[in-house]
Structure formats: structure tokens, C-alpha cells
Amino acid sequence: MSQKLNVAICQINPTLGDFEKNIDNISSKYEQALEEGANLVIFPEMAITGYPPQDLLNNQNFVNQNIDYLKKFSKQVTVPCIIGYVDIDNDKKFNAAAICQDGKIISKYHKIHLPNYDVFDERRYFQNGDSIGIFDLSIDQNNYKIALQICEDLWEDEYDRKISNEIIDNNPDLIVNISASPFAKDRKNDRMELIQSKYANANCPFIYCNLVGGQDELIFDGFSMVFDSDLNLIDMANGFEEQILFSDLSSKSSIEKISSNEQLFKALSLGVKDYFKKTGHSKAVIGLSGGIDSALVACIAVNALGSNNVTLISMPSRFSSEHSKVDAEVLAENLKARFKRVDIDNLFQTYLDVMSVHFEGHPPNVAEENIQSRIRGNILMAFSNKLGSLVLSTGNKTELALGYCTLYGDMSGGLSAIGDLNKNEVYNLSKWINRHDEIIPQSTLDKEPSAELAPNQVDPFDYELISPVVDNIIFGNSQKNINEEFLNLKKKVNINEHKRRQAAPVLRVSKKAFGIGRRIPIVNHFHE
């Protein structure tokens, strides 16, 4: 390149379908970029619509409005701007990028590789593009050859067509990838390594611009990146927040170091925050048992929403231990959240009295235990209705997998904050929260986990052993020791799909979460 480019990489958090708000944010970021001297401005994939639009794409008004707002925005554009949107051509829809300059749309690119796995189903809506995105841009009276791709175009290993080779053969001055790539553990490093492996011989800078924010179960982490001509990482945007990353494509900047636990906590906090904000809620209600799962959810909620917007409710019964009652209250004090105690024993006894004639001849079992859980679910929903709050459910991935949870009881809620963390991860993240100060009482971390629904009850699992095994079952990984215990666990995972289908949406932080990315039939008699 004959002259240094001053690029503004605008990592934004759109709200799906709120075109006016999204365009206002885009326009504001664009103007800010110009004020800082940018001569090329880049926005992520689907910046105008939000991602993923899913069946909204079947609504012609949705598609038309997104194009109208793009045209509106393009009129204010002076220096070149790359931005993601939905294009339509001869009644065919495309996941597209527009290049705007001098008050108009001067070029467009249609995404070639359309992901159709896990949480992605783009082939349901879009047509594949044909031509690679090679464009000549005039910037400050200098000509640049820009190679443009969209998200999955980079993840080409499973496709016959290798876009990277085609791009390199064209000798571009700059490669730009705009993405809506959701967070999963280690995904940031996966992206970086992929870029460096695919374009090691490109001999030009590479810009990766990613979306940020929560959309239903998905959390987009940002971490937009800039690589120099030798594919060294020279700059990276912060994760989990909007940011304009400015770069001249050569100068190295300090890069935020963030641990895996910190990433998880920030991801879950952002997921909760945006789910509440974008659905019109501001306050949360959480059932606080004194156990580790509800303690972690409470910490996430307070971080996401503020302590004044979180109500923690202890609902002890005759089987609740004294330390659980104390731990719940201490945690609430530490978090400075609202705390209420509602004893359920009288309600439980009323149920037992009413049902005794109907249960006669049947020994006490899980039915009586679950009555307690369902009483608690009803109380939480009553607070939800009365306070205009959303209930956060507190089950972890291991419990949801094995069905160790109660329908219409502890599964009640509008959002599952930790349903994609296994039990071991719950403990690890809780210990990370306590790294400086004891927020979660140490006794909560130390005691044996228990539902406390029967005398001297403890959970019937060694979570340290079974959590990774259950994860392997969910991920479909091969297992060396196929023994009776493994087969029983696998059976439990399969037969409890009906529970999970009725559960709250689960914030996705792994590469395979319960929800839209895992579609297993409820009626399923298949055995391997």
C-alpha cells in the first residue's frame, strides 16, 4: 500500500429488527470514526438487522426495511464504509456486505459459504454467492485492492471451494472479514489461529470485525482483530462490549489479556444483561437455596443488572440445613441485593395432607420431594408477576443433561443463566469470583451438593467424574470406556429431552449447548 490506511473497526451491538436504533448507532459510530481521522470504516456481518434474523427473513417487509435503512445510511457516507446487511436479487436473499462511498452504495458482496450446523441454518434462507469479493477502492486519492469475505467464508475446511486460495491469488492490499461469530470457550483463539494458518502467504494485513452482544441464547463476544502483513496479531478489541478499534495496520497496540473464567463471567453477564434489556425487562428474581448453582447465578445477575434490580428469595423447608439458610442470607448481604425469606413448610404440609388420601398405599418418594420444588417455582413466579421481574433459573448443564431437575419447579424461569456450564465449571467460576474477596460463602463451596428435599440427602453423583463424561455424550465425542455406567448416563441424557424442551432458553457458552444447536427428538428409540 502506497499510504497507510487509518481504519476504524466498529464492533457494535445491534438489536434484531430495530432498524432505526441500529442505524442511529451505526451513524454515530461512523461520524465518530471520521472525527478520529479514519479513511475506511468497517461494521460487522448483519450490522443493520442483527443476527440471526431466522424466520423474520421470510417477512418481505423485514428485508425491504433493512435495504431502505442501508440506502438511508449510505447517503451520509463520505469515506468508504463496509457494512453487513441482507440483500435481495430476483427474489433470492443473500447474506451480504455493502461498500458505501460518496453518498451511495458502490459495490456489494454475497457470502459464499453458508453455515448449516449447530446454531446456524443460513441455507434455509439464503442463496450462496458466486464471486469472491475483490474490489478496487479509491481512498485519499490512492487505489487499494480490498478482498472482502463474510464470517463462514473463513471457516472453509468443510467446503470444496477454498476461498482463501482464490483471494491470495488476487494479491489484495487488504483482506477484511466481517462476522457474527458467537462466543464459545476457546473460540477467540480458534479464530486467530485459523486466520494465521489460512492467510500466512497473503503478504497483506487482515482485519476481522465481529459482532458483540446477546441475542436470545447466543452471545457475540467481539474480540475484533487486526493482523499486519506478516499475520502477526497487532491489535484486538475488548471482548463483550461495543468499541471502535482504530488501526493503521502496522503499529502494534497493547492487547487485553483475559482468562477463560473472566471470559465466561463476562459472556454470561452480557447474555443476561442483553436478554433483559432487549426483551424489555430490568429486574430479576432468583431462588436462593444456599447452594453453589443459585449463588453463581445471583453473582452473574448482580453484575449484569445491578444489585438494586435483583431480588433473592430463600424458601426453606423442614429439610433445609441451617448452613444453607445462613449461606443464602450472607450471600445476599455480600451482593447488596434484596433478600426475602418465604418458609414453605406449612404449604408443603398442606399438600401432604390434601394428597394423603390419594397417595395411600404408596410409600413416600420423589413425588413428595418434587412438591417442594414446585411450591418454590410457584412462589418465584408469583414474585415475578407482582414485581414485574424475570425469573432466572439456576440449573447447570450436568443436571439438565441427566434430568436431575424438576419440571415446573427449579426449572421455572425465563432464562437459564448457567445451563451450559457443567458442575465442575460452576465450581471453578465460583472460585474465580472469590479470588479477591469472599463473595460466595466458603461453606457453600465446601459442602456436599444437595437438593435438600429429603432427610440427609446429597446429590447421587460424583460431579468431578461424571461432568466430563456427560459433556462427551452431549458433544458426541468418542468414549474409551463403554461400560454399564456410561450407557446408563447416556440413557438418562436421551430420556430427559422432554424436560429440556420445556426449559428456559440456555445461554450458550460452549460449542454444543442445549437449545437451538442440539435438535434431538423427544420420541427416540435409537440405540447405538
Q: What is the residue-wise DSSP string for 323-367?
A: HHHHHHHHHHHHHT-EEEE---HHHHHHHHHHHHHHHTTS---HH
Task: For residue 110, count CB atoms less than 10 angstroms from its CB and return exposed for 0-12, middle for 13-18, buried for 19 or more.
Answer: buried
* Mean predicted lDDT score pLDDT of the chain: 95
Average pLDDT over residues 484-492: 86
Average pLDDT over residues 115-131: 96
> Alpha-carbon distance 156 to 372, whole Å?
51
Q: Are the C-beta atoms of residues 260 and 233 closer than 8 Å to each other? A: no
Q: What is the DSSP-derived secondary structure letter of residue 224?
A: -
CATH entry, 7-251, from 3.40.50.2300, 1.10.10.10, 3.60.110.10, 3.40.50.1100:
3.60.110.10
pTM value surpassing 0.85: yes
- Report the candidate in 127, 205, 193 with the shortest Cα–Cα distance to residue 167: 205
What are residue 227's DSSP bridge partners? 206, 233
pLDDT digits (tens, 9 = 90+) for 153-182: 999 999 999 999 999 999 999 999 999 999
- Report the candidate in 444, 449, 450, 453 with the shortest Cα–Cα distance to residue 345: 453
Whether the pLDDT of residue 481 is over 80: the answer is no
Better pLDDT: 459 or 151: 151
- The amino acid present at 514, given as its one-letter code, is F
Lowest mean pLDDT: which of 24-38, 71-85, 463-477? Answer: 463-477
Kindly report each contact of residues 248-253 with a partner whose C-beta sits within 8 Å and lies 24 or more positions away, as own/partner.
248/4, 248/5, 248/6, 248/7, 249/1, 249/4, 249/5, 249/7, 249/174, 249/205, 249/207, 250/4, 250/205, 252/228
Domain boundaries of the chain, sorted by first residue: 7-251, 264-500
Average pLDDT over residues 447-469: 90
Q: Are the C-beta atoms of residues 415 and 275 closer than 8 Å to each other? A: yes
- Exposure b/e, 407-434, CB count within 10 A at least 16 = b: bebbbbbbbbbbbbbbbbbbbebbeebe
- The amino acid present at 35, given as its one-letter code, is E
Per cent of the chain over pLDDT 70 is 99
Q: What residues contact residue 473 under an 8 Å CB cut-off, 6+ apart?
A: 401, 479, 489, 490, 493
Q: What residues contact residue 437 under an 8 Å CB cut-off, 6+ apart?
A: none
Q: Quick one: pLDDT band at residue 3, thresholds 50, 70, 90?
A: low
Q: How many CB atoms neighbour CB 219 within 10 A?
A: 26
Positions marked active-site: 45, 111, 151
Domain 264-500, CATH class in plain words = alpha beta
Whether the pLDDT of residue 479 is over 80: the answer is no
> Alpha-carbon distance 114 to 52, whole Å?
13
Distance, C-alpha 142 to centroid of its chain: 40
